[in-house]
Amino acid sequence: MKNSSTISWLIVSGLILCLPAVVQAQSVNKIADREAARRQAGVPRGQEVLARAQSELHAKQYSLAHDDFRAALRYLPNSPAAGNSYSVALDGFCESGVKLAEQRIAEGKYEESEVILNEILSDPYNPNCREARTLLTHLHDPGYINKTMGPKFLAKVEEVKKLLTEAEGFYQSGRYDMAMKRYEQVLNLDPYNTAARKGQERIDLTKYQYGVQGYNETRGRAMWQVEHGWEQPVRQYGTGAGPIENVVARDVGNTRASNFAMPVSAKPLIFCASRRRRTIRQRKGVAGSILFCGYVHLAVRMSPLR
């Protein structure tokens, strides 16, 4: 009887001692099940974020794509339940991070690019990302990347490129003064910019050629006016006018002699300058008539004869 009581007590004691372990095991299983359910529920959300990240990467929005790939990795489990979505997100995180780091290097932000590359190569992500490791090695090489070109200097370079492009546009549209102004702005930012000096030289040459053409046009116009003064008026028929005097009165622009008004009652004396000789001649007969010399260059009215 006593032995039976002892055995019962031992069984009860054993059960009491095993109860916490059983409860703990059940708790662990419940936690694992809840975590598996949470991850499984996050797969659709992760795939949605992954699709958006891929679109942003294709659109070269590397900063947004890198953040979304990181978020997709938090939603997607590294298990068969997510299929190959996790590996796709990991590769995208590596690629977008490398592109973003290259962009930061181009902007002169070398510290930010180094932080991005170190995050990619950390254990939670992809320590075997070859592109990230190669770029990080180049970033640490003093002779590979010129780190003296900081953000301010690179921003100035971009401004110079913009001004040069605008200057070329103004030159092509014939707005030479605006183009010259843009070249001067370039030289204020970069005093030794040869492209700006060549552009100014081209504008000066274009203006010089315009000046030559303007000179030729002015000279041609003056020569035409001189030669036009030698033109004889055309005699008109059937108009009822006198032989010559009314013709001259109607076409006062054809000869310099017609610029002088003459009284009809006077017998004018005309001074005619010929290419060969000078003569003073008077036409008698019709009052107020004018006798034109050959090759008349200049006609001046003198006082009438008494």
Tally of CB atoms within 10 A around 244: 16
Q: List Cβ neighbours of 172 (8 Å cut-off, separation of 6 or more).
A: none
Give the residue among 44, 47, 28, 130 at the shortest CA–CA distance from 88. Answer: 47
Whether 254 shows a pLDDT value over 60: the answer reads no
* Cα–Cα distance, 202 to 176 (Å, whole number): 10
CA atoms 127, 128, 132, 138: torsion sign: positive
DSSP 122: S
Tally of CB atoms within 10 A around 9: 10
pLDDT of amino acid 287: 39
> How far is CA 30 from each of CA 15, 25, 33, 81, rounded to the nearest angstrom?
22, 9, 5, 19
**Which pLDDT tens digit goes with each residue over 198-240?**
999 999 999 999 999 999 999 999 998 888 888 888 888 876 5
Give the residue among 129, 98, 93 at the shortest CA–CA distance from 113. Answer: 98
DSSP 152: H
**Which pLDDT tens digit goes with each residue over 223-233?**
988 888 888 88
Q: What count of residues does the chain have? A: 306
Give the residue among 270, 213, 223 at the shortest CA–CA distance from 245. Answer: 270
pLDDT of amino acid 216: 92
* Cα–Cα distance, 88 to 120 (Å, whole number): 14
**Which pLDDT tens digit goes with each residue over 22-55?**
445 456 565 655 655 556 666 788 888 889 999 9
Whether 155 shows a pLDDT value over 80: the answer reads yes
What SS3 class is residue 296?
Answer: coil
Domains of the chain: 7-140 (no CATH), 151-228 (1.25.40), 245-301 (no CATH)
- Residue 197 or 286, more confident: 197
pLDDT of amino acid 260: 41
Whether 114 shows a pLDDT value over 60: the answer reads yes
**Which pLDDT tens digit goes with each residue over 132-148?**
999 998 888 887 887 77
- Residue 203 or 246, more confident: 203
The DSSP result for 47-72, as a single string, is HHHHHHHHHHHHTT-HHHHHHHHHHH
**Which pLDDT tens digit goes with each residue over 258-271?**
444 444 433 344 44
Q: List Cβ neighbours of 186 (8 Å cut-off, separation of 6 or more).
A: 160, 163, 164, 167, 193, 195, 196
The DSSP result for 234-267, as a single string, is PPP-SS---SSHHHHHH-TTS-GGGGS---TTS-
